[in-house]
Amino acid sequence: MKRLLPALVLLATASCGGASGGASLRFETQRLELGTMHQYEEKEFVLPFTIEGSGAVRIRVLDTSCGCTDVKLMVDGKILLQAEKDHGAPVPEKPEDDKGLSAEAGDTAIELPAGTHGEVRGTYRPERRLNDQMVTVTIDGSMLNSPAKSQIHALIKPVFVVAANAGNFGTRRQAELKQGELVQEVTVQAPAAFQVKFWKGAPANLLIEAVPDSTVPAPGGDGVLQKFRLRLQPDTPEGTKQFTVTAETSLGPAPLDLPVAWRILGPVVYAPEHRVTFANKQNDQDHEFLVKVSATSAEEPPLPKPEVDFLGEVAGRLTADVEELPASGQGYAGWLIRVKLPKGTQAGVYNGSLRISYPADSGIAAKEMTAYARVQEPR
């Protein structure tokens, strides 16, 4: 069985053998509107064309500007050329009765006489693409107007629409969790009602369930709205989490991505929270970095005085004093740690950590923060 000539074989120019004799290939439309589609939907399209002028034309290449589109050049219902794109699915074989009309790899071109009416048939698959999308279909050969081009246009909408902060629990105190789970409801817009087969990426302390009987028509008749309930369990540790959970649904390959975030505060708030930095400091003067340690709320008992230690290369180079921090409009009472880089510290780069600990009977966990100093000689 003869094989179809693949796209991108020996890109043709106007100088290829067999002059067109003044013939051109004219598409019936320069831009075909496919309208609005959803991701992973498929639409077929047809681009009719005519060979105008005198003499025959030789066509070598049929191609598209996007791997999301398959196209076939057809005359009288028979495939002459085919641009196959890889979508992970097999391309149907050419019917046996087309063998007399298709070009083999050894042929120089497909010849179409003047007056030929044909068409380019294709399938557009937007997959993960979004918004306005334009794909150019190109036929290259000996025509006077080579390469002849037409475009298809589509507006692609996501299968699922979820508000960016829908799954954000915000900043909550651990004391709230001890009183019971935290609950957040998320609304998802979709083309039609669907079921979730399973969720991926959800930690054990986050439970996700569909809200029964919550499906209602979306505003303007644009699909439906469905609700899901997120339940953050009481054993969630303090700290900040930001991630995405993904659901496989009955609507096909489009994933439902749900952004989730929370910040759970223990009995202590640190400002800054993670890092003590002395960057490019000259050693002919003293330098200071402040760390505020305060209670999460007025409901928390007074914080005991913390003990401060330095670990790693910063030990012996950085020092710290701890003083009381009264309550103010910017926070509750606590402690102020003055981390110091003394004058005369030898030039170099020092890494390590600052460890803040409390008496064992306080029940407050120790905190470690990255500590970094880059010290330079005076300029």
Cα 24 to Cα 20: distance, rounded to the nearest angstrom: 8
Residues 132 and 25 in one domain: yes
Tokens representing 89 are: 């699915």
Residues 272 and 260 in one domain: no
Residues 308 and 329 in one domain: yes
pLDDT over threshold 80, residue 273? yes
Look up the domain containing 356 and give its range: 268-376
Residues 82 and 135 in one domain: yes
pLDDT at 99 (0 to 100): 35
pLDDT at 27 (0 to 100): 94
Could you tell me the pTM of the whole model? 0.65
- For the chain, what is the mean pLDDT? 85
Q: Among residues 265, 291, 318, which one ends one of the domains?
A: 265
pLDDT at 104 (0 to 100): 36
Residues 142 and 187 in one domain: no
User: What's the domain count of the chain?
Assistant: 3
Residues 91 and 225 in one domain: no
Residues 105 and 135 in one domain: yes
Q: Which residue has the tokens 């009481």?
A: 234
Q: Which tens digits make up the pLDDT trace of 207-251?
A: 999 999 999 999 888 899 999 999 999 989 888 899 999 999 999
Return phi, psi of residue 77, to 5°. Answer: 80, 5
Residues 114 and 168 in one domain: no
Indicate which CATH number applies to the domain containing 369.
2.60.40.60
Residues 279 and 259 in one domain: no
> What's the gap between Cα 32 and its chain centre?
29
Indicate which CATH number applies to the domain containing 139.
2.60.40.10
pLDDT over threshold 70, residue 70? yes
Nearest to 333 by CA among 365, 292, 371: 292
Of residues 332 and 8, the one with the higher pLDDT is 332
pLDDT over threshold 80, residue 84? no
Cα 369 to Cα 68: distance, rounded to the nearest angstrom: 48
Cα 281 to Cα 91: distance, rounded to the nearest angstrom: 65
Q: Among residues 128, 157, 186, which one ends one of the domains?
A: 157
pLDDT over threshold 80, residue 2? no
Indicate the range of 12-16, 27-31, 324-328 predicted with least confidence: 12-16
Residues 152 and 117 in one domain: yes
Judge whether 342 and 319 are in contact, CB under 8 Å: yes
Q: Which tens digits make up the pLDDT trace of 99-131?
A: 333 333 334 478 899 999 999 999 999 888 889
Nearest to 226 by CA among 218, 240, 215, 211: 215
**Radius of gyration from C-alpha coordinates of the chain:** 34
Of residues 324 and 174, the one with the higher pLDDT is 324
> Mean pLDDT across the stretch 265-270?
88
Of residues 278 and 7, the one with the higher pLDDT is 278
Residues 277 and 230 in one domain: no
Q: Among residues 157, 178, 208, which one ends one of the domains?
A: 157
pLDDT at 96 (0 to 100): 40
Handedness of CA 312, 314, 317, 322 (dihedral sign): negative
pLDDT over threshold 90, residue 7? no
pLDDT at 209 (0 to 100): 95
- Looking from the CA of 330 toward its CB, the CA atoms found within 13 Å total 5
Judge whether 209 and 228 are in contact, CB under 8 Å: yes
Cα 19 to Cα 143: distance, rounded to the nearest angstrom: 8
pLDDT at 83 (0 to 100): 77
Cα 252 to Cα 246: distance, rounded to the nearest angstrom: 13
pLDDT over threshold 60, residue 47? yes
Judge whether 103 and 79 are in contact, CB under 8 Å: no
Q: Which tens digits make up the pLDDT trace of 289-339?
A: 999 998 887 777 788 999 999 999 999 999 999 999 887 776 678 999 999
pLDDT at 338 (0 to 100): 97
Residue 17 CB: number of other CB atoms within 10 A?
A: 9
Q: Which tens digits make up the pLDDT trace of 329-338?
A: 766 789 999 9
Cα 351 to Cα 348: distance, rounded to the nearest angstrom: 10
Of residues 218 and 1, the one with the higher pLDDT is 218
Phi-psi label, residue 35: left if phi above 0, alpha if psi -120 to 50, beta otherwise = left
| DSSP reduced 3-state for 61 | strand
Residues 326 and 350 in one domain: yes
Cα 191 to Cα 260: distance, rounded to the nearest angstrom: 23
Q: Which tens digits make up the pLDDT trace of 345-370?
A: 999 999 999 999 999 988 888 999 99
